[in-house]
Amino acid sequence: MGHSTDTWAERKRDLTEESSSRWAGSITKATHDQWALSRRAQLAHIQGLKAGIATIAHRLSLPVGEKGTKGSAGGYHTRQEWFTKSRRLRVLEDRLSKEQADWEAGRVRVVRGGKRLARNRHNLQAAQLTEEQWQKRWKAKRWFLAADGESGKKYGNETIRVTPGGEVSPRWRVWPTKRPDRCGHQRRSPGRVAPGRARQPLRRASAVLLRPFRRRPAP
């Protein structure tokens, strides 16, 4: 399925070459956690479908109008209700087969920004939004940064530091100045890459997700 602790570490190493270990971990962890959350929701949905199918199938197997017992549902009250539920059973079975196929293939369906907001784009009038308002919300929902808190660091986070005055200070990787070699090709100066920090006023506060470090209380 391509999603495990080992594959996550491999993706982080590949991305570290293009950025830094700090940001590679932040980016890959966000996508990995989103996939894992979707898998748990997918499994819960499959279990719910199975429970619904079992209940309906049991009630359909009973005579119409038969009363239930304690802890067990009886038959449906009318023939019309029995017919409606039989059609409902086929719908649930079809959904279950599709969900199980996705589960076995390790495929999840995720909309970054939210499925509800994506659907609102097709009916802006009902959502009481203009196209410009929808675009602003869509970009804000899809644009985010996440960084785990760190013990002993100033303000509890070294990757994305937010001061009490509302100043955001992300930590970037600063590449050394390039210089040409004897053949005229650009090459990087030798030496260790030094981290840098850029300061800017706090903007889009709702789009910046910080995970502050909290010590667990002693048992």
Query: Tell me, what's the pLDDT at 50?
Result: 97
Query: Residue 22, Cβ neighbours under 10 Å: how many?
Result: 20
**Spatial contact of 25 and 160, defined as CB atoms under 8 Å apart:** no
By three-state DSSP, how is residue 4 classified? coil
Kindly give the confidence (pLDDT) of every residue in the chain, 219 residues in length, as a single tens digit, with 9 standing for 90 and above.
456 677 778 888 888 887 777 778 877 877 788 888 899 999 999 999 999 999 999 999 999 988 888 888 899 999 999 999 999 999 999 999 999 999 999 888 888 888 899 999 999 999 999 999 999 999 988 876 666 777 777 777 777 778 888 787 777 766 555 544 444 444 343 333 334 444 444 444 333 444 443 444 444
What pLDDT was estimated at residue 134? 94
Closest CA to 160 of 145, 142, 144: 145
> Is the whole model's pTM more than 0.85, yes or no?
no
Distance of CA 23 to the CA centre of its chain: 18
Distance CA 93, CA 87 (A): 10
Q: Are 161 and 154 in contact (CB under 8 A)?
A: yes
Give SS3 for 194.
Answer: coil
CA distance 108 to 74: 37
- CA nearest 32: which of 52, 3, 56, 70? 3
Provide DSSP, 44-84: HHHHHHHHHHHHHHHHHTSPTTPPPBTTB----SSHHHHHH
Q: Please check whether residue 159 is in contact with residue 24, taking contact to mean a CB–CB distance below 8 angstroms.
A: no
What would the DSSP string read from start to end of 106-118?
A: T-----TT-HHHH
Using CB atoms within 10 A of its CB, is residue 148 exposed (0-12), middle (13-18) or buried (19+)?
A: middle
Residue 52's pLDDT is: 95
